[in-house]
Amino acid sequence: MDDLRDKYLTAIRNAADEGTLEEVRLAAIGKKGEVALMMRELGRMTPEERKTAGPALNALRDEIASALAARKHGLEDAALDERLASEWLDVSLPARTRRRGTIHPVSQVTEEVTAIFADMGFGVAEGPQIETDWYNFDALNIPGHHPARAEMDTFYMARADGDDRPPHVLRTHTSPVQIRAMQDRGAPIRVICPGRVYRADYDQTHTPMFHQVEGLALDRDISMANLKWCLEEFCRAFFELDDLELRFRASHFPFTEPSAEVDIRCSWEGGTLKLGQGDDWLEILGSGMVHPKVLRAGGIDPDAWQGFAFGMGIDRIAMLKYGIPDLRAFFDSDLRWLRHYGFGALQVPARHAG
């Protein structure tokens, strides 16, 4: 045993790296190592021999294991010292300019819209982005033959064979949130519903995923006059133009009656869009008085309550206010674009700053 001890302790001291040290461990105290094989011979010894050989072998195994652990720590310390010697930092060098992130225009405009409508008493409601076709279409008085329900316009979720549950879609507008808000809160109610929506379209002014904000106000004596005042006040506050002029044009939406599209006065002189001046008009949103069938779907009695609803694209009004030419750039994750059009962390909407 003395020869065995000297042999492996010398090998451990001479091990230059952890790989060699592992080979020594396996040869000494591994399952097929010399010490392990000697311990298997204890069963063939007489009781008197085992009393002497057993403790000696255990002591030898423990001594070798301790030497292995000590050498391993020594090698690790040496490797760390070598690394620290080669990887150093000159703390006297000037600091690098720290690049700060920016707030995306969609997030900024969402906060601006929320702040303006909050001053008018509107709360915020949210809902799921995957909806049943009942919430997305039927509850909003959109008939089964309506083009918006075609698969070329709407993203339907795949269903397994034999699944008889109602089909689910990626919501095409945030109007389903209005239905859920009416069911949960009843009337009177004033909420806006911002969020992501999805439609199968892609060009300079359309993307498969974009952002909308819709509003709903219900009470016993709300009229189109209230709708007109609300939207005029919002547009003047958002675009920061006191003399901004809006035009309401009769239109048709399944979920409102009467319905109106809203245009904003603008000028395209010299190829540059200027809001609030000129002889041209630009459509910015749709609106109207909530259809009685939609009220019933939300659990509201249309004989006792009435109100208005409106909807607009957050990305679209962000493009108009901040002069962003292409909607697709909103989702390109181009850091140069984000640094140019993004907002600083302290550039909160003015109505929040107070």
- 62 plus 163 within the same structural domain: no
pLDDT above 80 for 43: no
Within a domain: residue 29?
yes
Boundary of a domain, candidates 56, 85, 114: 85
- The DSSP 8-state label assigned to residue 203 in this structure reads B
**pTM reported for the whole predicted model:** 0.67
Average pLDDT of the chain, as a whole number: 87
pLDDT at 324 (0 to 100) = 87
Longest dimension (CA), the chain: 115
Boundary of a domain, candidates 23, 57, 85: 85
- 224 plus 319 within the same structural domain: yes
- 128 plus 44 within the same structural domain: no
Within a domain: residue 39?
yes
Within a domain: residue 70?
yes
- 226 plus 321 within the same structural domain: yes
Tens digit of each residue's pLDDT (9 = 90 or more) over 231-256: 999 999 999 888 889 999 999 999 99
- 111 plus 78 within the same structural domain: no
Q: What percent of the chain has pLDDT over 70?
A: 95
Within a domain: residue 263?
yes
Ranges assigned E (strand) in 93-204 = 123-124, 130-132, 168-170, 189-198
Distance CA 337, CA 83 (A): 40
- 80 plus 117 within the same structural domain: no
Boundary of a domain, candidates 85, 120, 147: 85
pLDDT above 60 for 302: yes
pLDDT above 90 for 1: no
pLDDT above 70 for 349: no
pLDDT at 5 (0 to 100) = 82
- 248 plus 152 within the same structural domain: yes
Residue 25 structural domain: 2-85
Mean pLDDT of 267-295: 89
Number of domains in the chain: 2
Mean pLDDT of 14-30: 86
- 337 plus 215 within the same structural domain: yes
Within a domain: residue 90?
no
- 74 plus 120 within the same structural domain: no
Are 64 and 8 contacting, i.e. CB atoms less than 8 angstroms apart?
A: yes
- 51 plus 125 within the same structural domain: no
String of b and e for 65-103 (b: at least 16 CB within 10 Å)? eebbeebbeebeeeeeeeeeeeeeeeeeeeeeeeeeebb
pLDDT at 327 (0 to 100) = 82
Which of 84-88, 220-224, 313-317 shows the lowest per-residue confidence on average (mean pLDDT)? 84-88
Within a domain: residue 171?
yes
Within a domain: residue 223?
yes
Distance CA 61, CA 37 (A): 12
- 171 plus 109 within the same structural domain: yes
- 157 plus 40 within the same structural domain: no
Within a domain: residue 314?
yes
CATH code: domain of residue 281: 3.30.930.10
